[in-house]
Structure 1
Amino acid sequence: MLKDDLYFFNQGQLYDAYRIFGAHLKKDKKGTILGTEFTVWAPHAKEVSVLGEFNGFQAWVHNLSKVDDVGIWSLFIDSAKEWHQYKYEIKTWDGRTLYKVDPYGYFSAERPEQMSKIYDLDGYYWNDGEYMNHRNNEAPYDHQMSIYECHLGTWMTKPDGSYHKYNEVVDLLIPYLLDNGFTHLELMPVIEHPLDQSWGYQGVGYYSATARYGVPKDFMYLVDRCHQHGIKVILDWVPGHINRDEHGLYMFDGEPLYEYSEEWKRENVVWGTANLDLGRGEVQSFLISNALFWMKYFHVDGFRIDAVSNIIYFLGDSRNGENHGALTFLRNLSTQIFQEFPNALLIAEDSTAYPKVTHPVDQGGLGFNYKWNMGWMNDTLEYFEKDPIYRKYHHNNITFGLSYAFSENYVLPLSHDEVVHGKKSLVNKMPGDYWQKFANYRVLMGMFFTHPGKTLLFMGGEFAQMHEWKDYEELDWHLLQYPLHRAAQRFVHDMNRVVKYHKPLYELDHQPMGFAWIDASNSDQSIFSFVRYAKDSNDFVCVIINMTPLVHHNFRIGVPQAGSFAEVINSDKDIYGGSNIYNGDTMFTEDIPMHGFEQSLQMVVAPLSVTILKREE
């Protein structure tokens, strides 16, 4: 290890730490494997050994040498070859013996084994060159972004209930995404984790694509195939906290190393995890290198950062004060990612009101380019759970979000967190009988796709799954034999295409000139109406949302320009499971001023419906 590398590692500025740490196969000029070099950071250890298939799992055979004063240990073993399992034995100064997987290990033995595996990441032949060239020249903001959040293990299983491998699911998942109009695939964590029910959020192998779905090159193939079809891939990434399993990063060399030394900062009792010390240089080097590792080796397009509130504030509580070391980490992370990948996606799952999360670092921001709009999600779902008769008293739940909708670059999340732990599925949150539940669901979907901001929908939401997400079995695909569920899926399918082919619904998502209320104050009828504009202000659509089961004939609204208007889509059509009340004929404006416009038109507003109107050329 060069002195410069050591210095930058300690300072949190070694952004390819995986080049040094971990198990690296050494080859001669012909590519013949000569053996493996193991390097690990364990400054508090008394002794470090590696045991594996190459030495009969006898730790005394291969003791690592301490190569510097800050606790980096290394050893070359000529008998250690690809696919061999291994782990470190660490002896502490107080007499304990610990067995740990490799923090920088490229692959892992499949659960319940607690081993790393030697693996050669080189040699995959990528076929996404055209996509990558285009990606590097395309900023994300003024394009459609319809994200499908997916848990690979339970999206669809094999007939025997086992998981599809990365390279098997591609022929099922990619056609499904394309058919339903989703542009981005967000994968819940695929780093190695011991417990299926942790969903990947409590990992032990940050550099290891989980073995439960196959080998790392299989995951490369999944990303490659997505890119060949124009689908961007986002990884759910958890830099804030780790699990406390004995074989993981927790107390790696017998004392706090990756985590805080102070117990109150470290122990996240609510989640049963330990918070990483994000202000420590070596931890920053570990994590920033990890993010760049996934982008360089696996071509992922970006990350959704989990639990950012727990990073901004100690234990996620503003009363504990800002975590300045962690804030520095976030700024360094975003700076390095965008320096190497200018059009990457860096999305914060943040429930705080901390300012400038999606502003550039040089403008005083944290450097994310997107943030989940948790306020919109909470207010909207709370509103939709109300009986329509009471919604007029909660009108502000819908209008309030527009007062801050352009303060950050927002993603509207209807994520897995909203359909678990007794919260009910999206359609089951809705009041009323079976028909009204589905009508309310379509209204939610219509508002979701027409509201300023990009969209994220958790799997199963697109066909109105009735049960909450079950993290131990596949989605309820059998529901698609029932007409209302097929109709629900068709509505999401069609809304994705309406957005795709109408610039007003995506081009100015983050700019106030892209949105204007027609009528935000009609609380008595619980009807909301607004205009979405494209960059060309003559290109616009009008959206009318009826939140009650009442029909309104001869309903008059003001519109920005005179002329003829036609329906683009109406959620009450029978093909979507509705009562088939819609505006079939062209509507012509009249010179009757209304809602601040010089002209208006009359229309029928269907019960519990979303209607989009467009001016005809």
Structure 2
Amino acid sequence: MTKVITHSLFTDFDIDLFKAGKHFKLYEKLGAHLVEVNGVKGVYFAVWAPTAQSVSVVGDFNYWTQGEHLLQVRWDSSGIWEGFIPDVTKGALYKYKIQSNINGIVTEKADPFSLYCEKPPHTASVVWDLDYNWKDEKWMQSRQDNNGLDKPYSVYEVHLGSWKRGENNRFLTYLELADDLVNYVKETGFTHVEFMPVMEYPYDPSWGYQLTGYFAPTSRFGKPQDFMVLVDKLHQAGIGVILDWVPSHFPDDAHGLGFFDGSHLYEHPDRRKGYHPDWKSLVFNYGRNEVRAFLISNAVFWLQHYHADGLRVDAVASMLYLDYSREEGEWEPNIYGGRENLDTISFLKEFNEVIYANFDGVQTIAEESTSFPMVSRPTFTGGLGFGMKWMMGWMHDTLKYFQKETVYRKYHQNDLTFSMTYAFTENFMLPFSHDEVVYGKKSIANKMPGDEWQKFANLRLLYGYMFTHPGTKLLFMGSEFGQSNEWNFENSLDWHLLQYDYHSGIKKVITDLNNLYKTRPALYEKQFTGEGFEWINYSDHQNAVLSYIRKGNNPKDDLVVVCNFTQVIREKYRIGIPRKGKLQEVFNSDASIYGGSGVTNSGILKIESSAYDGRDFSVELILPPLSVTVYSFV
């Protein structure tokens, strides 16, 4: 038997930080590390298991034999077990066999800090390293210029397992995606991609939202360094990378974090706080220092070692409220009698403070579906500290409106105008995400009413309205070419649809809207402030028309936007304009190149000294059917 040699990567200061919940690079200490001790190469193992009676490393190097390689517990009451095993090499499979001092319970667990995991359904951890020669220096050095809140931010949401499939419906690898996906995102003009969770997960139908390997990119698509290549190539193409991050819950799979050392180590011991009834999963104990350090270290890890440009935090609402999806009697109020989870609020504030203090040019984005205040406001003003928040209310109201037959829309204009009453209370991202195209909700395209022409005209109108509304943008894959079927995680997107004009027209619309967004400062410089938006007329419900101005830092960049939500062509439609000059149409969703009817406002449009809409000047336009038209001052 090869002896476990006493060795430690921890200093006393590390332990103090860990106990206080302030060690945010735990991945440098815990886990499996390829090191050399006294001239001998091997692996240093360290795992947190405070209620353990013994901890064995079992693996393919000792025939999975318990007791063969026993780790030693530290003397400092940290609960950390550690030791160096000579001659273990990169690629070795291992787990921790933990005998608890609680009734002799024995658990066999994957390493919470494993850098690489066996391909599911296998569950062992793999000894690995993070060696990689990055080539994205240009992006990283100028990231603030591409990733700031006053910059265009158009996000393509991707599920790696179903964006495109290979022969026999196999997954594409990270390396294949580094060619195909990067080229496609660059072609369509998105500024960022957002990956649904890439961290290791055991169950495909969870889409990655039930994690077991928090520090390991899923091995379904290749090795950790292969995922680095994908991120690297996106950066080299000038495309930012956002990762979905799931600190809200985790599954109770036997090899995962649940009941880790025979105790409720990572999950809250009170089932009213430690179990999620919707997802039948476990909830982290946000009040436990070591758990907070684990989670924040994990966030730091992906930003540091995988060069992520942002984290979209999943299911924030479920974290914030003690009564979330719970009936009366199934939850306990906080010490002030309220329903807010004070530990979660404290944790999220600290998470955001650590991220923004340590990384320039990154963003955190909250998927938060309630009216919880100041989600995207700095912590020093009482906010949670996120950079952005998903505008779920806008999404629901907008889709509800667009699903109505056009003859009824004049009665529901408030569904659209209501968003502007709260649009600047947060830094909002406008999301049409994967959640809107599953479970019988239909694809975005098939939510639209009318015959085929009207469906696609409505879809072009929807996207034009989205891109001219204040806020950043997010669109789920397939929606950019009018995918007809609901998303199915087991198959590729329906790429064959691009042979048809209406679908290729939608892709052309999205490409041109992305380029319009990126090249017109009025659409992004003040996207989170009321100074960047001015209604022209929001009350013409009889014609179902909205008109407004988007503004940047320079008035010469202002854009006039007019939306016609019916299929009736509006001849000689007059709108008020705040100043003299001329207008020119710069985008028209009804253009024939998109599959529209080709009704346009050609040439230069002269603004007249004729008062209208409460303004001293006005202009006469033709409003194409079911269209968004955008005009610049010339």
TM-score range, shorter chain: over 0.9
How many angstroms does 1:596 deviate by?
2.2
Give the secondary structure class of the aligned counterpart of 2:553: coil
Q: Is the 8 A contact 1:100 1:246 kept in 2?
A: yes
Q: Is the 8 A contact 1:240 1:278 kept in 2?
A: no
Percent identity, aligned pairs only, is 44
Q: Does 2:344 align with 1:336?
A: no
Task: Say which of 274, 289, 303 aligns to 1:281.
Answer: 289
Report the equivalent of 2:44: 37
Report the equivalent of 1:423: 441
Q: Is the 8 A contact 1:359 1:366 kept in 2?
A: yes
Q: Which amino acid aligns with 1:433?
A: D
Comparing 336-345 and 447-456, the one that deviates more: 336-345
Report the equivalent of 1:518: 536
Q: Is the 8 A contact 1:268 1:315 kept in 2?
A: no
Q: Is the 8 A contact 2:147 2:309 kept in 1?
A: no
How many angstroms does 1:33 deviate by?
6.9
Residue-by-residue CA offset, 1:8-29 (whole Å, 9 max, x unaligned): 1122101111111101111379
- Structure 2: how far apart are the matches of 1:212 and 1:407? 41
How many angstroms does 1:138 deviate by?
6.1
Q: Is the 8 A contact 1:147 1:185 kept in 2?
A: yes
Report the equivalent of 2:586: 568
Q: Does 2:162 align with 1:144?
A: no
Q: Is the 8 A contact 2:525 2:553 kept in 1?
A: yes
- Structure 2: how far apart are the matches of 1:524 and 1:81? 73
Q: Which amino acid aligns with 1:507?
A: E
Task: Say which of 294, 308, 320 aligns to 1:300.
Answer: 308
- Structure 2: how far apart are the matches of 1:33 and 1:488? 61
- Structure 1: how far apart are the matches of 2:325 and 2:59? 43
Q: Does 2:190 align with 1:182?
A: yes
- Structure 2: how far apart are the matches of 1:333 and 1:342? 15
- Structure 2: how far apart are the matches of 1:529 and 1:61? 74
Q: Is the 8 A contact 1:252 1:258 kept in 2?
A: yes
Report the equivalent of 2:258: 250
Q: Does 2:26 align with 1:52?
A: no
- Structure 2: how far apart are the matches of 1:613 and 1:33? 70
- Structure 2: how far apart are the matches of 1:103 and 1:157? 30
- Structure 2: how far apart are the matches of 1:138 and 1:485? 30
Task: Say which of 312, 318, 321 aligns to 1:310.
Answer: 318
How many angstroms does 1:218 deviate by?
0.9
Q: Does 2:519 align with 1:501?
A: yes
Residue-by-residue CA offset, 1:16-73 (whole Å, 9 max, x unaligned): 11111101111379xx871001111111222211110111111221111111324211
Q: Give unpaired runs (5+ residues) of structure 2.
A: 1-9, 334-338
Q: Which amino acid aligns with 2:16?
A: Y
Report the equivalent of 1:14: 23
Residue-by-residue CA offset, 1:131-187 (whole Å, 9 max, x unaligned): 111115666111111100001111111122111111221110111111111000100
Comparing 340-349 and 93-102, the one that deviates more: 93-102
TM-score normalised according to structure 1 size: 0.97
Task: Say which of 373, 376, 397 aligns to 1:379.
Answer: 397
Specify whether residues 117 and 33 from structure 1 end up closer, same or farther in structure 2 by C-alpha distance, changes over 3 A only.
farther
Residue-by-residue CA offset, 1:74-102 (whole Å, 9 max, x unaligned): 12111321100001111223233211100
Give the secondary structure class of the aligned counterpart of 1:219: helix
Specify whether residues 416 and 615 from structure 1 end up closer, same or farther in structure 2 by C-alpha distance, changes over 3 A only.
same
Q: Does 2:217 align with 1:199?
A: no
Give the secondary structure class of the aligned counterpart of 2:461: helix
Specify whether residues 136 and 509 from structure 1 end up closer, same or farther in structure 2 by C-alpha distance, changes over 3 A only.
closer
Q: Which amino acid aligns with 1:115?
A: A
Report the equivalent of 2:68: 61
Task: Say which of 361, 364, 385 aligns to 1:346.
Answer: 364
Report the equivalent of 1:114: 123
Comparing 438-447 and 60-69, the one that deviates more: 60-69
Give the secondary structure class of the aligned counterpart of 2:142: helix
Kindly report which structure 2 residues correspond to 1:592-611, keeping only aligned pairs within 5 A, or say none: 592-611=610-629
Residue-by-residue CA offset, 1:304-342 (whole Å, 9 max, x unaligned): 000011111125369851111111111111111111113
Residue-by-residue CA offset, 1:441-477 (whole Å, 9 max, x unaligned): 1110000100000000000010000111101011000
Comparing 470-479 and 89-98, the one that deviates more: 89-98
Give the secondary structure class of the aligned counterpart of 1:525: coil
- Structure 2: how far apart are the matches of 1:486 and 1:33? 60
Specify whether residues 107 and 306 from structure 1 end up closer, same or farther in structure 2 by C-alpha distance, changes over 3 A only.
same
How many angstroms does 1:565 deviate by?
1.4
Report the equivalent of 2:336: none
How many angstroms does 1:121 deviate by?
1.2
Q: Which amino acid aligns with 1:50?
A: V
- Count of residue pairs the alignment pairs up: 613
Q: Is the 8 A contact 1:54 1:79 kept in 2?
A: no
- Structure 1: how far apart are the matches of 2:557 and 2:128? 53
Q: Which amino acid aligns with 2:437?
A: V
- Structure 2: how far apart are the matches of 1:526 and 1:316? 38
Report the equivalent of 2:171: 163
TM-score normalised according to structure 2 size: 0.95
Kindly report which structure 2 residues correspond to 1:541-560, keeping only aligned pairs within 5 A, or say none: 541-560=559-578
- Structure 1: how far apart are the matches of 2:574 and 2:138? 49
Q: Is the 8 A contact 1:250 1:259 kept in 2?
A: yes
How many angstroms does 1:358 deviate by?
0.9
- Structure 2: how far apart are the matches of 1:591 and 1:171? 54
- Structure 2: how far apart are the matches of 1:536 and 1:386? 38
Report the equivalent of 1:211: 219
Q: Does 2:378 align with 1:370?
A: no
- Structure 1: how far apart are the matches of 2:144 and 2:610? 49
Q: Is the 8 A contact 2:145 2:151 kept in 1?
A: no
Q: Is the 8 A contact 1:36 1:76 kept in 2?
A: yes
Aligned-residue CA RMSD (Å): 1.5
Q: Does 2:105 align with 1:96?
A: yes
- Structure 1: how far apart are the matches of 2:407 and 2:91? 63
Q: Is the 8 A contact 1:51 1:88 kept in 2?
A: yes
Q: Is the 8 A contact 1:508 1:514 kept in 2?
A: yes
Q: Is the 8 A contact 1:40 1:73 kept in 2?
A: yes
Task: Say which of 228, 234, 245 aligns to 1:220.
Answer: 228
How many angstroms does 1:563 deviate by?
2.1
Q: Is the 8 A contact 2:610 2:617 kept in 1?
A: yes
- Structure 1: how far apart are the matches of 2:144 and 2:558? 29
Q: Is the 8 A contact 1:356 1:365 kept in 2?
A: yes
Q: Which amino acid aligns with 2:284?
A: L
Q: Is the 8 A contact 1:136 1:341 kept in 2?
A: no
Give the secondary structure class of the aligned counterpart of 2:354: helix
